[in-house]
Homo-oligomer: A and B are copies of this chain.
Amino acid sequence: MSESYEEKAARLDAADELAKYREKFALDAGTVYLDGNSLGALPAHVPARMADVITREWGELRIRSWDESGWWTAPERIGDRIAPIVGAAPGQIVVGDSTSVNVFKAVVAAARINGDDRDEILVDATTFPTDGYIAQSAARMTGHEIVACDPADMADAVSDRTALALVNHVDYRTGRLQDLPGLTAALHAAGALAVWDLCHSAGALPVGLDAHGVDLAVGCTYKYLNGGPGSPAYLYVAERHQAAFDSPLPGWNSHADPFAMTPGYEAAAGAVRGRVGTPDILSMLALEAALDVWDGVAIEDIRAKSLALTDFFLECVRAYVPAGRVVSVTPDAHGERGSQAALSCENAPAVMAELIKRGVVGDLRRPDVLRFGFTPLYVGFADAEKAARVLAEVLADLPA
């Protein structure tokens, strides 16, 4: 008798070395949470830490906490916690502001570093829209021209007019993983800088910022890094570019001597140069605590489990769902896949609403994409099987 998918899931979960990390998160047995690519689950120890931050650090120490509780240095300290997850040596990442604001800093700074004889900025045409909106604004202000371009065509489109390219490492909609090493090398060969958006890859797969010579990068922390709703984003500036990094948002936190409060601006050395204003400490320290779950985790193990999960989910979908009701828009090839499965589907809004009602939480990308994110730290194979099974039930109950 052949093994059922439920049995296979149980076997895979039993052999999963990462399965023990699930207990580090606040999860309920009734829900299959496949939206960690939008908002990561709550690490179970974060509430106690935040109670201490709020009642003792803010409530009792008050202003003294800027020094005594390490608030002031949090942006670069937490940056160094994120660094190994994205393959960066210390001193190149600062945390703060939103992804959009960091895209603005990165695009303007890259254009200034490399823009003297180059008047074009290539922007990933499949990007999460805010990157495109912000790049357009940056280009308007620096006098560059935006050229929208599919990442697959970028190696051909880059020229000696290209100052930089802004590319998403994983397409938020389809889950396609772009070729970061290859495209970075192609951009460099043409003298352009590579600015990568890691929102949908950091914490889900190896990025290798240093190893692949990425110039600048940005990312959010509330997806696979589980930092909490709207937790601050980060900015990576490769060490070799830091001295030339000329921020369009030179707030006092990036000053060489911020408490001198001199009228003239003098940029600090290092990654601190990417800071702007006073950091939002509550959100930032929740993120710092959330990063504790990464202690001892190798990103290669995360990647292996992620691919196994999406493989298994798509296998279950093919087995359970009548042919033609859904079409995977996520690439089959491992080298082209992030950590989500995206299925196009008729009547997708009603299907996702019903899935959520039945305890399988994915999300919708209008008009017709069902997104299921697989977070290896807390999603198991039984979750993947159940999600596919409930999807088949929902599709059977709803008219096509």
Residues of A participating in the B interface, judged by any CB pair closer than 8 Å: 26, 28, 33, 35, 38-39, 41-42, 46-47, 50-51, 54-55, 57-60, 62-66, 71, 97-101, 104, 125, 128-130, 132-134, 136-137, 141-142, 148, 173, 220, 222, 228-233, 247-253, 255, 259-263, 265, 276-284, 286, 356, 361, 363, 365-366
Contacts and interface: CB of A to CB of B under 8 A. Distances in A.
B38 A251 contact: no
A255 B129 contact: yes
A249 B261 CA distance: 26
Contacts of A281: 228-230, 283
Contacts of A228: 54, 58, 281-282
Given A33-B62, A100-B253, A133-B255, 6 more contacts: A39-B62, A41-B59, A47-B55, A47-B59, A58-B228, A100-B277
A160 to B, nearest CB: 25
A131 B284 CA distance: 23
A380 to B, nearest CB: 17
Contacts of A247: 137
A50 B42 contact: no
A100 B137 contact: no
A326 B58 CA distance: 31
Nearest to A130: B252
Contacts of A57: 229
Contact of A251 (B58, B133, B232, B365): B133
A363 B33 CA distance: 47
A55 B45 CA distance: 10
Contacts of A33: 62
Contacts of A284: 230
B232 A265 contact: no
8 contacts: A47-B51, A66-B229, A101-B101, A101-B249, A129-B261, A133-B255, A148-B263, A229-B282
Nearest to A55: B47
A124 to B, nearest CB: 10
Contacts of A60: 26, 28
Contacts of A130: 251-253, 277
A26 B50 CA distance: 16
A220 B278 contact: yes
Contacts of A253: 100, 130
A361 B60 CA distance: 12
A347 to B, nearest CB: 18
A57 B228 CA distance: 10
A157 B55 CA distance: 48
Contacts of A233: 277
Contacts of A279: 98, 230
